[in-house]
Amino acid sequence: MKSSNIGGQAVLEGIMMKNKDEYAVAVRKPDGNVEVDKKEYRSVVGRHKMLLKIPFVRGVFAFVDSLVLGMKTLAFSASFFEEEDEMEAGLTKKEEEKKERAEKWMMGGTIALSIVLAIAIFMVLPYLLSSLLKRAGASQSVFAVCEGMIKIAIFLGYMVLISRMKDIKRVFMYHGAEHKCINCIENGFELNVENVRKSSRLHKRCGTSFLLFVILVSIILHFFVQFDSMALNLAVRLALIPVIAGISYEIIRLAGNSESGIVCAVSKPGLMLQKLTTKEPEDDMIEVAILAVEAVFDWKEYQKETFKEVAA
């Protein structure tokens, strides 16, 4: 089946959907109304868009783009739920510009901090913990296997922990609504609440699956790239991050465009993990997701072209 190539992200009480260079954020505000904000996204590569077409290279920039856009849309959705005494009112143009600059710096700092923490928790910490075995005389192979097992344990533990948080559960329900909308469209059904509700909440192009592939690819690469020096091992692990992201992106891209048995088998672990990061949404959440989709994607035209090809 031809992929729709649309993707999205759950935000606070809403959904962000992206199609090519356009994205839309639909948020259910405290008063019950839905705010839909549609904009054009400028990639971090700027005018050098050819970089987004080079296999393995494009994955690195796609990952950075997803982080930037994700933080931006999260901040937009959160703005509707600030306390009244924190809401800015009557700001001058100069004050608004100053506020926007401060928010950009804050967003950049948050992204940088998130990346540093992710590297420390999911890459450096497993290495340091497994290095204790190495000091006890364990072989390189045993060390590498233990490092991989610790990575998976930390990653799964983190997913289980956050999935039990009350606020995160609602985000995961919107995440489920996002997937259900895409599955509804790509399976040829009319995009409405009833059809979306019946669709699967699991999807092979999900960011959760991408993160799992990042962990698995890193385990494989680190198994074969080992040095005696701890400092050199850590330096090489940092240097391999773009390579790992590039490979993982190509795997998830292939998964979203292929129905072969091998690809489906490779996708299984990611789909199973999505049972943690997606929840069954309520109908009003599905309504928000549909608005986000329709703001940036002509699903009727997609189905007309796709299923005409299938029939032919």
The pLDDT of residue 304 is above 80: yes
Distance CA 242, CA 184 (A): 33
Residue 309's pLDDT is 56
The pLDDT of residue 206 is above 90: yes
pLDDT in tens, 248-265: 999 999 988 888 888 889
Cβ pair 25, 15 in contact under 8 A = yes
Domain ranges of the chain: 15-81+94-311
pLDDT in tens, 157-176: 999 999 989 889 999 999 99
Distance CA 206, CA 163 (A): 16
Distance CA 156, CA 140 (A): 24
The pLDDT of residue 103 is above 80: no
- And the tokens for 94? 């100069």
Report the interhelical angle of 261-277 vs 207-224 (nearest 10°): 120
Q: Compute CA distances 72 → 7, 20, 213, whole Å.
A: 16, 17, 25
Please provide the average confidence, as pLDDT, over all residues in the chain.
Answer: 89
Kindly indicate the confidence band of residue 312, based on its pLDDT and cuts at 50, 70 and 90: very low
Instruction: Provide mean pLDDT across the span 210-221.
Output: 94
Kindly indicate the confidence band of residue 307, based on its pLDDT and cuts at 50, 70 and 90: confident
Question: What is the DSSP track for the chain?
Answer: ------EEEEETTEEEEEETTEEEEEEE-TTS-EEEEEEEPPPTTTT-GGGGGSTTTHHHHHHHHHHHHHHHHHHHHHGGGS-GGG---S--HHHHHHHHHHHHHHHHHHHHHHHHHHHIIIIIHHHHHHHHHHHTT--HHHHHHHHHHHHHHHHHHHHHHHHTSHHHHHHHHHHHHHHHHHHHHHTT---SHHHHHHS-S--TT-HHHHHHHHHHHHHHHHHH---S-HHHHHHHHHHTHHHHHHHHHHHHHHHHH---HHHHHHHHHHHHHHHHH--PPPHHHHHHHHHHHHHH--HHHHHHHHHHHHH-
The pLDDT of residue 283 is above 50: yes
The pLDDT of residue 50 is above 60: yes
Residue 81's pLDDT is 83
Kindly indicate the confidence band of residue 210, based on its pLDDT and cuts at 50, 70 and 90: very high
The pLDDT of residue 232 is above 80: yes
